[in-house]
Structure 1
């Protein structure tokens, strides 16, 4: 491990062979010494789930024999990957954890369901600066080339400036060419939600089952949100805190007769 280079932990939720993480590894190799610990299969929508009632496996693998990074394939969730990396695999705390690049949006309310962002939050809880990267393209064949320069720029700025304690970054990219992307905006999370439906069906054996469907509704008209930025051709950067306390409500609840 080169002492003058930052140690960067790379993970994701789409699985260790997904094109998004392979692109992220390529960019991180230009910046530091890279260790990859990522799920062995897709873990999208897992949120901050951890494995407590089953065994965990973590095997050293070689996916690209010509690349310098060290890689481990883990049977667990994205949060499991970060826990294993920081407690068992790495000999010291990494200088940065990057998660992604996710195939699909993690803007607005999607952040709470995201395995990509939960990996970043897990790192943040251990005092590791962390960034989750996502591209608004769900295709397995998504083109990540247009955003590589932006990923590198944001990563370098984070390493140089650091992040406040208790904060990680949620970065989302519009599906545009590099020339079409207008720039980077630091935003707040839009006030949006899903109107969910369950498509009820029957299996050939007559057993009922469900497919979750839904419509994303953005009721936030502000021009300082991640949804506005992405819709208008900008990269959105949202600082995310994982202290979930509603501090502004404490005074009101203290007035209750409890």
Structure 2
């Protein structure tokens, strides 16, 4: 029986995306892997799950003679749920998600299918990491990411992560020699200033395209945005307990039961 860790590999860009192919290459050097990933791109799906339609998972062979891969009709969170409950021989020692084509820093973590897959694993008590490269191109070059993905993964397996915490890792889109190192960060206070491009169909019906620009409102040098702008790999520990603990004391002063 293999003493290697069992690693679940998933993503949100789809099972054929170059990012997950790179992640698979790296994980195969660390442990035994099983891939369960969406059959089509699921970017921006957040933590959506399939409730009112049929969910499919088909075993596929994409240069995967040494491991099993499943293409799933659902969301990234669905992939993790189905993997744990139905497809894996046992609970995995680690879940890695990505490598995402594009940033998941700061507020993007809220919308990210990549990070939602990692968070779903964390909910199940599985150490999990979401990896993203700051290049949205399908033909992005992930070569510089490999050594950092490997280093971070090995440290997680060795040191562990507290229950309720997962790691959000973002990698700048520069050559490996230009990356200054890995920086532990907090999530920057930033957001999208959004607009809708309103258009009409030939039949005169209104439709909309979401547009906008990303605005960093945080001047701190301890944030993921600062790290990435200065060519560091950023690691932000995130948690799925979103309780505003600091506001509980104030809420208890309200006269809610009078």
| Same fold (TM > 0.5) | yes
Q: Over the residues paired in the alignment, what is the CA RMSD in angstroms? A: 0.7
Give the 5 Å matches for 1:16-55: 16-55=15-54
Q: Quote the residue 1:181 is aligned against.
A: 179
Query: 1:208: how far off?
Result: 1.0
Is residue 245 of structure 1 aligned with residue 243 of structure 2?
yes
Match of 2:67 among 64, 69, 86: 69
Query: 1:168: how far off?
Result: 0.1
Partner Cα separation in structure 2 for residue 186 and residue 133 of structure 1: 14
Partner Cα separation in structure 1 for residue 217 and residue 103 of structure 2: 17
Gaps of 5+ in 1: none
Q: Quote the residue 2:131 is aligned against.
A: 133
What's the CA shift string for 1:12-53, capped at 9, x where partnerless?
Answer: 000000000000000000000000000000000000000000
Match of 2:109 among 104, 108, 111: 111
Q: Quote the residue 1:94 is aligned against.
A: 92
Runs (4+) off by over 2 Å = none
Stretch of structure 1 that moved more, 197-206 or 51-60 = 197-206
Partner Cα separation in structure 2 for residue 205 and residue 68 of structure 1: 53
Query: 1:215: how far off?
Result: 1.0
Partner Cα separation in structure 2 for residue 125 and residue 147 of structure 1: 26
What's the CA shift string for 1:126-146, capped at 9, x where partnerless?
Answer: 000000000000000000001
Partner Cα separation in structure 2 for residue 60 and residue 207 of structure 1: 42
Secondary structure (helix, strand or coil) at the match of 1:224 reads coil
Q: TM-score, normalised by structure 2?
A: 0.98
Partner Cα separation in structure 2 for residue 111 and residue 185 of structure 1: 18
Partner Cα separation in structure 2 for residue 245 and residue 146 of structure 1: 37
Query: 1:235: how far off?
Result: 0.1
Q: Quote the residue 1:231 is aligned against.
A: 229
Query: 1:94: how far off?
Result: 0.2
Query: 1:91: how far off?
Result: 1.9
What's the CA shift string for 1:197-223, capped at 9, x where partnerless?
Answer: 000011222221100001111110000
Gaps of 5+ in 2: none
What's the CA shift string for 1:106-139, capped at 9, x where partnerless?
Answer: 0000000000000000000000000000000000
Q: Quote the residue 2:2 is aligned against.
A: 3
